[in-house]
Every structure is written in structure tokens, then in C-alpha cells.
């Protein structure tokens, strides 16, 4: 396999060339891959860790876990979040549970079974090696959470009492009475505060990350906009971690209308990071028809199934830029199994990231960098220009109105049910809305804590991202996850045209064009199981 560096070697033609992106999966059987890599990754000496600066973008569970783990190992961590305190972040309203394959219910659970369930649940759209690693680490994640005082449900004997999800056969979901997200977030926030007290971590709050600064091909920091005074600020570092969550801003659905991490994600995409599978997942296995859901009723997106493309070591296509948690794409597939979301966030942040970031820094010689260097001044002027462009419009339509019109287009034409002609219509409408936005946006005359500008900034990105999402949907001639193409419905004769198992990764060209590249997913764990799965699926659809 040839590793392509997406920034330098993008295909020039618009034809989709099936180049393989190198996922850098270590050799060996599935269960040996992570132990093999973890014991061979080069390590950074402690004294160098003390001198390394890392920026973590985001304030949720993944960001707190990563920042706490990195700071504990000696790195100097700056966590940049748009909220006032991480305890108010979006993880706090995750209800479900935390999955771990500990087999505490003695119902035959194991890493292997957990792994298979996740792969099948995700309609085989997630990367096998990554999922297996998550299953392997799940036990240690649970142990850590328990040690950090997360009050999970217990039985009369004082032992942990896992629950089974509807549709599942094994009890592996550890819950805290509908507030698992809050409890996990609080635990890792507290762990981070412990590091803050030690002076190893700092929380830079109320900042929106608007640009990634790249110096000689390496991500060397970020530009943020201070939400309070409106000023752009430069934050140099040795590595940048995207832990900003997903892009659920796209649909104006509760909870979290416009509170996702779409702005930092888009900043990374603009800077050259590949964006994989821009779509959403259902919280149901298989696809919606299997569960007899009336598609009209189901317009809420459960979780972002895509995100920044990362290889096995959580590296995006920009050197020095890592993506963890919901910000990356690798473990959930078309459907996210309930309880896997917080697990991935913690396992990425706690165990995988510290190992791979150490390896990166030990192999890379980075020159000193200052806020006044070209990378920052360039990125800063880009950010300022974008802001000035919006502020100089002086139109008559409020950002909220644009938001409603945008989300109406997304929900009607690019929601759960999709027709290719409607998708094409949606692209046209979004382009129309975008030109109107830059002609007629109304903003108040204030610079200090301008919440209206915040909305406008989000809409500007949503108008770009929405188009990418639809472009991706148009290429997917299939029904899978929260993507119900009526012209490719499973009970339709053309369902055999299903795309198969691939990840579509988008890259933005300098001219502003979006180019897709495929990463074909390989499944090795059991061919027999595959065939059985296929057969079962076929008979089911026949009867259905």
C-alpha cells in the first residue's frame, strides 16, 4: 500500500480514483495489534515531555480525559473550550451508558463478542482494528471510571450491575441513572482540575477555535476567537488534538442546536485534513427498515458517524494534528451502538493518544515557534478577514432567520429520507442561501460578547458543511444508517447496488473544490460470519 500524503498528492481529476489511504494498521492478529504497537511505539523521555506543549481543542469527555492523561504524564496541556466550564459541555446530557466487556453478568461477554457486536451494529462501516482496540481497552476504561468515583448502578451486594440494551443480548452497559454522561464528564473534569492544581494543565475557556496554524507541514497551534472580547489570539504548541466533538449543529434539533464542534472541524478541513463519512448514525442496529420505523418520524440525528479521517494512531492527514472521540470517524460505522460513544472518547483520550503523541514528538524535530511567526500571522489574518467580511455586510436578515431557513432545507431534503433529485435541489438552495447570506446578513453594532456574531459564524460554516454532507449523500447509492435513499431502499430491486464497506474521505482543494477518496475497509475476523450475515439479511429483506 502506498501511503499518500493528502496535502501534496491529491488527484487532479474529478474522477474518483480508488487510492487507498494508509490506515497504518499494525501487523498480527486482531487482538495482538494494539499490544504489539503499544510496546513498540517510541517513547519521549520525561524531561522532553516536561518541555512539550500540547493544545487540546474541546471541553467534553474526550478533551477532559485526554488533557488529564497528557498532563499527568508531564506534558504541558492547554485545553481550549468554547464553554465557561467543561461541566456544562455537551457530554453532560448523554444519558445512555458506558460499555465494557467485563462479563460481570456472566453472560458470555468478551472483547471478541463486544467487537463483533459493534461491527455488526455499525453495518460494517467502521475500521475493524480500531473497534477491536476499543473493546480491548473497555475494561480498563471502566476500572478508571470506577476509581474516579463514578457512581454506577450497583446490586445489593455492592457489585457493578450492567444493563442490556434493547436488541442486545449481553449486559455490558454501566449506567448512572440516565446521567452517565454527566457523571463521566465530572470525573474526568475533576481529574483535569487535579492536574491544573499541579500546574500542568490550563483551561482556556470561552474561545472558539477558528484556524489551525501550520508551519512547514506541521500543525503548530491554533488561532482562537475570544468569545467575550471578540479578539483573535494565537496559541503555539508542539501538537494539536481535535477533541471538539461532532457536527450535530447541522440539523436544528434539540438538544444542542448549534452547539457542536463544527467550527474547529471545518478549520481542520480547510487546512487540509481529510474528512471521512460526513453523515449521521442511527442508534439502531442495521438500518431503519429492520426496526419498522416510519422514516418521517425519525428526523433526529443520533450521533455523527463521520469526522476527521485518522489512521490507527489517531493521526489526521495533517502532520501533528490528532483527532479523538466524536471528532474522528473510526469506530462507530453507520450506527453507533449505545454506550460506545463515551467509551471511545475515554479510551482514545486516556490510553491511545498519550502513546501516539509521545511517538510523534520523539520522531519529529520541531523548531521553536512563536506567536509572531508566519504560520500564525497568516492564519490570524485569514480569521480576521473572514470576520470582517461578515461584519461589513450590514444587511437586513438576522442569523437566526438564516439558521431556520438552512435547517429547513437540511431537514426536508437532506434529512433521514433522501432522494437524489431532492439532494440536488438542496445543494442549489444552499448555494442560493449562501450568496444571500453574504449579501444580506444583519449583525448588531457591538464587539463585546456578540452572541449574534457567534450564531452567524456557525451558520457560515454550516452553509459550507451542509453542501459537503449532501455531496457525500449523493455518492452513496445505498441505504445505511441515517441515510435512507428511497431510490435504493432495501426492499427495492436495486438494493444489491449497496456500496459495500468503504470510507469516503473528502479533501478540499486550494480552489475550494471537494474531492473524495475511498478507503476500502477489510474485514478479516470471520468470513463465515460474513456470509451468514449476508444470507440472513437477504432472506429478511425478501420477507419484508
Partner 1 sequence: MISGKEKEMAKKAAKTFSVQLRIWRQTNRHTQGRVVQYQVNGITADMTFLDMLEKLNEKLLKRGEIPVVFEANCREGSCGTCGLIINGEPHGPGEHSVTCRLTMKNFNPGDIITVEPWRIKSFPIVKDLATDRKALDRICEAGGFISANLGSSPEANAINVPKEAAEEALAAASCTGCGACIAACPNGSAALFVAAKLAHLSIMPQGEPEKNSRAIALVRAAEKEGFGPCCNNGACEKACPRGIKKDLIAKMHRAYLKALLGMK
**Could you identify the residue written with the cell 448555494?**
431
| Window 490 to 509, contacts with partner 1 (CB under 8 A) | none
Q: Would you say 187 or 505 has its CB closer to partner 1?
A: 187
Beta partners for residue 154, in sequence order = 160
The candidate with the shortest Cα–Cα distance to 25, out of 17, 15, 14, 36, is 36
- For residues 164-192, one letter each, b for 16 or more C-beta atoms within 10 angstroms of the residue's C-beta and e for the rest, the string is ebeebebbbbbbbeebbbbbbbbbbbebb
Beta carbons of 150 and 184 less than 8 angstroms apart: yes
Q: Select the residue interacting with partner 1 from 30, 83, 304, 318 (CB under 8 A).
A: 83
Spatial distance between the Cα atoms of 151 and 481, rounded to a whole number of angstroms: 33
Q: Select the residue interacting with partner 1 from 123, 186, 277, 305 (CB under 8 A).
A: 186
Task: Please list the helix, strand and coil fractions of the chain in percent, rounded to the nearest 5, in that order.
Answer: 45, 15, 40
Strand order in the sheet with 76-80: 201-204, 76-80, 53-57, 239-242, 321-323
* Site string (117-146) toward partner 1, x via CB under 8 A: ----------------------xx-xxxxx
The three three-digit cell numbers of residue 127, written as one number:
475500521
C-alpha neighbours within 13 Å on the C-beta side of residue 56: 34
Mapping DSSP onto H, E and C, the string for 331-343 reads: CCCCECCCCHHHH
The answer to the question of residue 448 lying near partner 1 (CB under 8 A) is yes
Q: Which helix (H) or strand (E) holds 54?
A: strand 53-57
In angstroms, what is the minimal distance from the CB of 78 to partner 1?
16
In angstroms, what is the minimal distance from the CB of 443 to partner 1?
8
Beta carbons of 77 and 64 less than 8 angstroms apart: no
In angstroms, what is the minimal distance from the CB of 261 to partner 1?
13
The answer to the question of residue 102 lying near partner 1 (CB under 8 A) is yes
The three three-digit cell numbers of residue 323, written as one number:
483527532
Q: Would you say 57 or 64 has its CB closer to partner 1?
A: 64
- For residues 310-349, one letter each, b for 16 or more C-beta atoms within 10 angstroms of the residue's C-beta and e for the rest, the string is bbbbbbbbbbbbbbbbbbbbbbbbbbbbbbbbbbbbbbbb
Beta carbons of 484 and 295 less than 8 angstroms apart: yes
In angstroms, what is the minimal distance from the CB of 278 to partner 1?
24
Q: Select the residue interacting with partner 1 from 28, 151, 217, 544 (CB under 8 A).
A: 151
In angstroms, what is the minimal distance from the CB of 134 to partner 1?
15
Q: Would you say 271 or 352 has its CB closer to partner 1?
A: 352
The answer to the question of residue 84 lying near partner 1 (CB under 8 A) is yes
In angstroms, what is the minimal distance from the CB of 100 to partner 1?
8
Spatial distance between the Cα atoms of 489 and 492, rounded to a whole number of angstroms: 5
The answer to the question of residue 530 lying near partner 1 (CB under 8 A) is no
Binding footprint of partner 1, residue count (CB under 8 A): 71
Q: Select the residue interacting with partner 1 from 24, 193, 300, 391 (CB under 8 A).
A: 193
Q: Select the residue interacting with partner 1 from 2, 8, 40, 197 (CB under 8 A).
A: 197
492 Cβ contact list (under 8 Å, min separation 6): none
| Window 285 to 324, contacts with partner 1 (CB under 8 A) | none
The answer to the question of residue 436 lying near partner 1 (CB under 8 A) is no
The answer to the question of residue 194 lying near partner 1 (CB under 8 A) is yes
266 Cβ contact list (under 8 Å, min separation 6): 461, 464, 465
Reduce the DSSP state of residue 473 to 3 states and report it. helix
Q: Which helix (H) or strand (E) holds 234?
A: strand 232-236
Q: Would you say 157 or 512 has its CB closer to partner 1?
A: 157
The answer to the question of residue 199 lying near partner 1 (CB under 8 A) is no
In angstroms, what is the minimal distance from the CB of 260 to partner 1?
11
In angstroms, what is the minimal distance from the CB of 147 to partner 1?
3
Spatial distance between the Cα atoms of 309 and 315, rounded to a whole number of angstroms: 8
| Window 346 to 375, contacts with partner 1 (CB under 8 A) | 350-351
The answer to the question of residue 93 lying near partner 1 (CB under 8 A) is yes
Q: Select the residue interacting with partner 1 from 30, 119, 191, 426 (CB under 8 A).
A: 191
Region from 81-89, 213-221, 298-306, 431-439 binding partner 1, contact rule CB under 8 A:
81-89
| Window 215 to 274, contacts with partner 1 (CB under 8 A) | 228, 254-257, 259
| Window 154 to 183, contacts with partner 1 (CB under 8 A) | 154-160, 176-177, 179, 182-183
The answer to the question of residue 72 lying near partner 1 (CB under 8 A) is yes
Region from 109-117, 276-284, 371-379, 441-449 binding partner 1, contact rule CB under 8 A:
441-449
**Residue 379 φ/ψ, nearest 5 degrees:** -60, -40
| Window 392 to 411, contacts with partner 1 (CB under 8 A) | 396, 398, 400-401
Q: Would you say 92 or 305 has its CB closer to partner 1?
A: 92
The answer to the question of residue 38 lying near partner 1 (CB under 8 A) is no
Cβ atoms < 10 Å from Cβ of 376:
24
Q: Would you say 194 or 270 has its CB closer to partner 1?
A: 194
The answer to the question of residue 147 lying near partner 1 (CB under 8 A) is yes
The answer to the question of residue 538 lying near partner 1 (CB under 8 A) is no
> What is the secondary structure of 239-252 as a DSSP string?
EEEE-----GGGS-
Q: Would you say 100 or 240 has its CB closer to partner 1?
A: 100
Amino acid at each position: 500500500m502506498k501511503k499518500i500524503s493528502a496535502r501534496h498528492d491529491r488527484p487532479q481529476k474529478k474522477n474518483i480514483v480508488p487510492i487507498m489511504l494508509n490506515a497504518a494498521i499494525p501487523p498480527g492478529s486482531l487482538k495482538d495489534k494494539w499490544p504489539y504497537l503499544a510496546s513498540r511505539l517510541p517513547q519521549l523521555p520525561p524531561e522532553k515531555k516536561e518541555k512539550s506543549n500540547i493544545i487540546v481543542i474541546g471541553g467534553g469527555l474526550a478533551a477532559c480525559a485526554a488533557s488529564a492523561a497528557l498532563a499527568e504524564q508531564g506534558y504541558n496541556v492547554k485545553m481550549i473550550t468554547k464553554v465557561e466550564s467543561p461541566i456544562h459541555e455537551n457530554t453532560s446530557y448523554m444519558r445512555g451508558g458506558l460499555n465494557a466487556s467485563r462479563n460481570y453478568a456472566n453472560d458470555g461477554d468478551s472483547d471478541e463478542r463486544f467487537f463483533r457486536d459493534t461491527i455488526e451494529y455499525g453495518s460494517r462501516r467502521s475500521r475493524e482494528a480500531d473497534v477491536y482496540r476499543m473493546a480491548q481497552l473497555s475494561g480498563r476504561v471502566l476500572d478508571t471510571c470506577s476509581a474516579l468515583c463514578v457512581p454506577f448502578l450497583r446490586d445489593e451486594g455492592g457489585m457493578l450491575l450492567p444493563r442490556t440494551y434493547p436488541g442486545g443480548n449481553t449486559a455490558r452497559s454501566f449506567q448512572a441513572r440516565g446521567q452517565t454522561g454527566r457523571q463521566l464528564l465530572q470525573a474526568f473534569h475533576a481529574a483535569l482540575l487535579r492536574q491544573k492544581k499541579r500546574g500542568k494543565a490550563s483551561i482556556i475557556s470561552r474561545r472558539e477555535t477558528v484556524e489551525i496554524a501550520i508551519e512547514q507541514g506541521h500543525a503548530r497551534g491554533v488561532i482562537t476567537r475570544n468569545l467575550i472580547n471578540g479578539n483573535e489570539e494565537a496559541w503555539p504548541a508542539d501538537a494539536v488534538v481535535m477533541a471538539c466533538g461532532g457536527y450535530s449543529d447541522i440539523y436544528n434539533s434539540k438538544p444542542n442546536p448549534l452547539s457542536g464542534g463544527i467550527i474547529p472541524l471545518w478549520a481542520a478541513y480547510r487546512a487540509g485534513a481529510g474528512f471521512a463519512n460526513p453523515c449521521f448514525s442511527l442508534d439502531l442496529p442495521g438500518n431503519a427498515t429492520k426496526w419498522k420505523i416510519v422514516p418521517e418520524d425519525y428526523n433526529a440525528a443520533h450521533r455523527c458517524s463521520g469526522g476527521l479521517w485518522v489512521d490507527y494512531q489517531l493521526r489526521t492527514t495533517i502532520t501533528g494534528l490528532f483527532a479523538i472521540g466524536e471528532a474522528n470517524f473510526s469506530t462507530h460505522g453507520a450506527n453507533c451502538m449505545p454506550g460506545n460513544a463515551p467509551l471511545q472518547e475515554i479510551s482514545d483520550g486516556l490510553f491511545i493518544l498519550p502513546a501516539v503523541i509521545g511517538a510523534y514528538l520523539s520522531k519529529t524535530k520541531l523548531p521553536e515557534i512563536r506567536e509572531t511567526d508566519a504560520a500564525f500571522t497568516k492564519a490570524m489574518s485569514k480569521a480576521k478577514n473572514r470576520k470582517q467580511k461578515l461584519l461589513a455586510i450590514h444587511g437586513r436578515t438576522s442569523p437566526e432567520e438564516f439558521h431556520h431557513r438552512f435547517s429547513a432545507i437540511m431537514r426536508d431534503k437532506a434529512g433521514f429520507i433522501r432522494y437524489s433529485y431532492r439532494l440536488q435541489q438542496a445543494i442549489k438552495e444552499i448555494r442560493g442561501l449562501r450568496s444571500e447570506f453574504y449579501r444580506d446578513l444583519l449583525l448588531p453594532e457591538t464587539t463585546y460578547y456578540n452572541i449574534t456574531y457567534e450564531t452567524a459564524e456557525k451558520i457560515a460554516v454550516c452553509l459550507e458543511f451542509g453542501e459537503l454532507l449532501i455531496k457525500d449523500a449523493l455518492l452513496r447509492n445505498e441505504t445505511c444508517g441515517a441515510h435512507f435513499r428511497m431510490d435504493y431502499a432495501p426492499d427495492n430491486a436495486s438494493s444489491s447496488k449497496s456500496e459495500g464497506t468503504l470510507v469516503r474521505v473528502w479533501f478540499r482543494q486550494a480552489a475550494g473544490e471537494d474531492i473524495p477518496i475511498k478507503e476500502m475497509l477489510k474485514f478479516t475476523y470471520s468470513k463465515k460470519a460474513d456470509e451468514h450475515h449476508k444470507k440472513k439479511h437477504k432472506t429478511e429483506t425478501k420477507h419484508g
